[in-house]
Every structure is written in structure tokens, then in C-alpha cells.
Amino acid sequence: MARKMGFIAVLAYVIYGLLMYWYLFYLADSSLPFEFQGSSADPATFLNSRELMLSTEYSQIRNLLFFLSTPLEWLIYFLILLVGLSKAFHKWAGETTKNKLGQGAIYIFWLSLFAYLATFPLSYLSYHLSRTYNISTQSFGSWMKDELIDFWVNFAMMLVIVSVLYWLINKSKRFWWIFAWLLTVPFSLFLMFVQPVVIDPLYNDFYPLKNKELEAKILDLASQAGIPAEHVFEVNMAEKTNALNAYVTGIGSNSRIVLWDTTLNKLNDDQILFIMAHEMAHYVEKHIYIGIAGYLLLSLVGLYLTSRIMNWAIRKWGTEFKVSGIHDIRAFPLFLMILSLLAFTASPLSNFVSRYQETRADRYAIEMTEQPEAAIATFQELTKAGLSQVNPPFLVKVFRYGHPTMLERISRIEEYQISQRNNEASEGIPAPEIND
């Protein structure tokens, strides 16, 4: 029975991969609607023919890797259960030490190591793709260093989660999911508080913005937005990527305004101020706290469903999975698989909410800076630097995009321009001259 289940799972993954390949490379339409051709959103107006070709190629392959990666995790955890690896990890842990915490640490180490090695080829393909298309500038050694940091950070967090989770399950097999959810509130807030000062510096060096004139402009915007920031931080990303980014991170006294040095190198001050105004909008409109609330709501539903599905799956296939019950740590791969499956299923909803918030942030930024030309140029540069599709396929947008598409973002700025000109014309105010 276990062999048959494993064969069906592998076959289903292969068929799914072929269908996604067919959809992304042959069925999906990412061409620009006729009414936008020749507009500022038309990539043909700001990318050359080679960049247009590379953008299409890179986006198709990158999207395929995305759609293959998460289901691969499900398959790996499923096979770990079926072939008895979870049972073997548990046995090795028991033979190594009698200490319960030590056994949990050893079990999680072997599980994490096997899952990492199984997904490594796909991770390396993603890295190699970025290098090939000149998105990534990171050396293999530097990339492996980040991978190892990821491994140990994830291991540490997973060890804490497993220790608390199985303590709760053994205390209350019926309502453990409620107590686990209650603990996610302080845990999530703690992670958000320490991330800017503990976790992020493990990967990159952060230092105060060197351009003090630009920093004064950004802090002036922050003051207008009511953000209690005293410094703007710069992070050295040029040695790793050609992509552009900026963000506001952390909560409370650990809040930080951060600019990638690639953004500083490729954009002018007006463009950078537009990006920073966009990021500040998330603070002003409390998107961070709305996001936390949404995450906690989804976590509550997710943990409840995970509890129900795990109990059902173990009753039905406990023998094949070689686990005795939900309290058995050998069932942890099943927990991870179900939670990942539910998160992927919920991603269209969370992405929809995120795109709405990003649209609001774009609107706030353009009204704050009143520089529509700079905003359009910024989006064009972001598209060029990341070889992004201006109008991605439907499934890509639904499952991958937490931001509006560049077609939507640029066209909205153009609509804002038209609206402003019409208002000025109706009030008898001469329209400002626009230099293309």
C-alpha cells in the first residue's frame, strides 16, 4: 500500500509539473492589451529587443521553478513518512541520547538536513538562473553561506516550535491548536521586533545612509508621515544582486527605514523619495498591524484544519506513515506538509489583500511626492532591473504577486496624471511642462 501511495504521489507531481510547463510556456498569454501599447506601461518603450526577450525567458523559467518548489516540499515530506525515514530519524535520536529535548533536536536536525538536501537541486537551479540572467551577482560561496545561515536559523526556530507544539499536544490532544495559536501572537511580535537587529544582519551589513542630503529628505518625508525614524539605513546588496528594493521593517523602537545600495546607485533622488513614500504609507495606514491580524486569523483557521486533517490522515494511513498518533513526533512531517498545503491554498487571498494595500501605498506616495514622472520611471527601472513581466499570466499573478502588476501600477499613475491635468484645466491653471 505504501509503495502504491508513493508511486501515485510521484506520478501526480510529474503530471502537475508538465501541466504547469504547458501553461506557462504555451497557453498563458502575457501580451500587452492593445489599449496599452505605446503607453509608458509598454515594455517596448523602455526595454530594448534583447531585454524584452530575456524578460520573457527569465520570467517563464522563474515562474515554473516557483510552481514546482512548494509541491516538491509536500512530496518530500510525504515520502519521508511513507519510506520510514521519519521513524528512522526518531530511532537515531533515541539511540544517541535519553534526554527528551536532545532527542527532539537530533530528530529535527536529520529531518531538516534531508529536506534541505532533497530541495537543494531546485534551489541551486534558481540561483544559477539568476546568475545566468545577471539578476544575481552573488558568488557561489556567498550564496552557500546564506543557505547555511537559512538552514541554522530555520533549525533553531523549528526546534522551538516542535518543543512547544508537542508539549501542548501531550497536554491537550483535542485543543492543542488553540493554545498553539495563542502562543503565535507573542512569538510573531517577538520575531518582528528582533529581525532588523538580530536576523537581518546575519546576511548583510547595515549602516547609516552615507548620502546625508538624501537622508534629510527621507527623514523629512518620515516626519510628515508621523514615522519616528532618526536614521535611514543602507544595506550592501550590490555584491549579491542587481535588483532594486527598499523597505520599512520592524516594530516599536526597532523600526528601520532601509535602502538597498543598488537602489541608491540606479535611481535619482525623486525616484527614491517616491519609493520611500510608498513604504511609509504602509506604516501610516497600519498595514503591518493589519497584516499581523490577518496572519493570526489565517493561523487560527490553519491550525484548526491541520488538527482535523492530521487526525483523519493518521486514522486512515497511520500504519503506512508508521506513526501511532498526532502526539507522535514522527508525524511532524505530516504537520509541515498540511500547513504548507494550506498556506499555498490561502496565498491567492493573502496576495489579493497585499495587492490592495500596495495599490493604496502607490496612491499615497504619488499624492505625497507629486512626481508622477519619477514614479513611472521608478516602475520602469524596477521592471528592467528584475527582468519582470509587465503583464504576467493569471495564475502567476494570483499565486505569486503580492504587488500589483507593473501594467496596473504604471497605468494608474498615468490616470492620475490625466486627472490632475483635467483638474488644473478646469481651474484655469496652466499645466506644468513635462520633459520626456
What cell numbers appear for 191 in the block? 520575531
What cell numbers appear for 176 in the block? 492543542
Beta strand 246-249 with 256-260 is antiparallel
Q: What's the burial of 51, exposed, middle or buried (CB within 10 Å: 0-12/13-18/19+)?
A: middle
Q: Beta partners for 259?
A: 234, 246
**Alpha-carbon dihedral sign for residues 405, 406, 411, 413:** positive
3-state secondary structure (DSSP) of residue 259: strand
| H/E run at residue 249 | strand 246-249
3-state secondary structure (DSSP) of residue 42: coil
Which spans in 285-405 are helix H? 287-321, 332-369, 372-386, 394-400
Q: Are 92 and 110 in contact (CB under 8 A)?
A: yes
Q: Identify the CA nearest to 217 among candidates 267, 278, 269, 284.
A: 269
Q: Which of 73, 279, 358, 408 is catalytic?
A: 279
Q: Whole-angstrom Cα distance, residue 370 to residue 221?
A: 13
Distances from the Cα of 208 to the Cα of 205, 251, 260, 279, 408, angstroms:
10, 18, 12, 18, 34
Q: Identify the CA nearest to 234 among candidates 259, 265, 257.
A: 259
Q: Does 367 qualify as catalytic in the annotation? A: no
Q: Whole-angstrom Cα distance, residue 347 to residue 339?
A: 12
Q: What is the DSSP string of 312-336?
A: HHHHHHHHHHT--STT-GGGHHHHH
Q: Are 232 and 173 in contact (CB under 8 A)?
A: no
**Alpha-carbon dihedral sign for residues 74, 243, 45, 57:** negative
Amino acid letter, 207: Y
3-state secondary structure (DSSP) of residue 208: strand
Residues annotated as catalytic are: 279
